[in-house]
Amino acid sequence: MDASKSTIWRVIKENPQIDRQLLNMQPVVKLLHKKTRLAFAEAHMKQDWSMVIFSDEKKWNWDGPDGVDYYWRDLRRSTT
């Protein structure tokens, strides 16, 4: 289904079940945190990581958000 950007915005604005909310600010990664992570990495460089499964695939940036300050929340699915 093709729809123009203005049609999508109009439908979102007309729907009381969808709300635009400001993202919560995340704590700043301080120099101490970076040094601690680096020390951990250096201490475990020679460990055999082939038997470790990494499952946390959350995207995050060292320098803060990448321009996205808001998100759309469906009020029908709200758990708060």
Residue 23 lies in a domain: yes
Asked whether residue 72 is assigned to any structural domain, the reply reads: yes
**Residue 21, domain member (yes or no):** yes
Total number of domains in the chain: 1
Q: Determine the structural domain holding residue 36 and report its residue range.
A: 14-40+68-80
Q: Which helix (H) or strand (E) holds 56?
A: none
What pTM does this model have? 0.37
Spell 4-17 as b/e; 16+ CB within 10 A means b: eeeeeeeeeeeeee
The residue with greater pLDDT, 45 or 25, is 45
33 part of a folded domain: yes
On whether residue 77 sits in a domain, the answer given is yes
Predicted confidence band at 78 (pLDDT cuts at 50, 70, 90)?
A: low
Is residue 31 in some structural domain? yes
30 in any annotated domain: yes
Residue 18 included in any domain: yes
Residue-wise pLDDT tens digits, 4-32: 889 888 888 888 877 777 777 777 888 99
